[in-house]
């Protein structure tokens, strides 16, 4: 149900969409069943002259099974959902596959700072590329992100990637993503962070290998040239 509104742009977006669709079918079935029975009973047992109500305690086994059987079936459905939910969760949040590249994400009221690897493929060197509110990554590359906050709680969210992670001041949080779709997409801050919360948007540019290489070449030279001044190399 998500993929019809938001394209799936990361390696795990499809897993989440599949899980959501499975839940949709399971709970949709129970929801429709309950509502149909409910409205049918209201219609069927409307007050009619000369027809008294029935006296049913619901305490006898033969009566109780009308609720115990659905009850057991709900439990079975829950187990399916549980397995799916934990499976997907494990892949996205608990497991950390080996990285091919790394990016630092620094959040503050009300902007994102992204530190990219330069041509040397390492963070913390002079050719790092630092940008504000614009993240540039290479498609089909597995990134580790290191997320931090300088003031209040923020949340790094990219809907096309199905990625969300709170940034907690005082902690460095590591996670991963692997973009699979080229293009430019929204970055959101998904945790209320003060009066400028609505300004805290950004854009992620997912480029193919050639475009990414030329972007890096162009920007890391600029970084090196102006290594002494902060915030150089931005767009």
Closest CA to 178 of 65, 14, 17: 14
**181 in contact with another protein (CB under 8 A):** no
End-to-end C-alpha distance for the chain, whole angstroms: 36
**47 in contact with another protein (CB under 8 A):** yes
Residue with Cβ nearer another protein (96 or 225): 96
Count, residues near another protein per rule CB under 8 A:
90
Distance between CA atoms of residues 52 and 185, nearest Å: 63
**199 in contact with another protein (CB under 8 A):** yes
Distance between CA atoms of residues 91 and 63, nearest Å: 44
CB of 208 to another protein, least distance (A): 21
Given 115, 164, 182, 232, the residue binding another protein (CB under 8 A): 164
Given 103, 193, 206, 216, the residue binding another protein (CB under 8 A): 193
CA 85 to chain centre: 13
CB of 19 to another protein, least distance (A): 5
Phi then psi for 141, rounded to 5 degrees?
Answer: -125, 135
Distance between CA atoms of residues 126 and 221, nearest Å: 10
Return the residues of window 72-131 that contact another protein according to CB under 8 A. 74-75, 78, 81-82, 84-90, 92-94, 109
**155 in contact with another protein (CB under 8 A):** yes
Contacts of 56 (CB under 8 A, 6+ apart): 63
Query: Nearest 5°: CA angle at 91, between 31 and 11?
Result: 90
**174 in contact with another protein (CB under 8 A):** no
Residue with Cβ nearer another protein (60 or 210): 60
CB of 92 to another protein, least distance (A): 6
**191 in contact with another protein (CB under 8 A):** yes
């Amino acid at each position: 149900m998500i993929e019809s509104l938001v394209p799936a742009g990361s390696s795990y977006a499809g897993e989440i969409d599949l899980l959501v669709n499975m839940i949709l079918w399971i709970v949709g079935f129970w929801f429709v069943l309950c509502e149909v029975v409910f409205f049918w009973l209201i219609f069927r047992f409307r007050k009619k002259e000369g027809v008294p109500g029935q006296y049913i305690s619901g305490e006898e086994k033969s009566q109780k099974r009308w609720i115990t059987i659905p009850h057991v079936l709900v439990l079975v459905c829950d187990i399916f959902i549980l397995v799916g939910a934990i499976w997907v969760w494990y892949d996205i949040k608990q497991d950390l596959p080996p990285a091919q590249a790394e990016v630092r994400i620094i959040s503050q009221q009300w902007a994102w700072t992204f530190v990219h690897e330069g041509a040397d493929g390492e963070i913390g060197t002079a050719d790092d590329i630092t940008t504000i509110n614009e993240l540039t990554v290479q498609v089909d590359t597995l990134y580790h992100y290191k997320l931090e906050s300088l003031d209040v709680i923020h949340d790094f969210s990219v809907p096309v990637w199905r990625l969300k992670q709170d940034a907690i001041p005082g902690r460095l949080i590591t996670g991963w993503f692997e973009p699979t779709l080229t293009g430019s997409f929204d970055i959101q801050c998904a945790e209320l962070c003060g009066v400028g919360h609505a300004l805290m948007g950004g854009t992620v540019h997912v480029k193919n290998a050639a475009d990414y290489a030329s972007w890096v070449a162009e920007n890391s030279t600029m970084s090196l040239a102006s290594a002494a001044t902060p915030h150089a190399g931005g767009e």
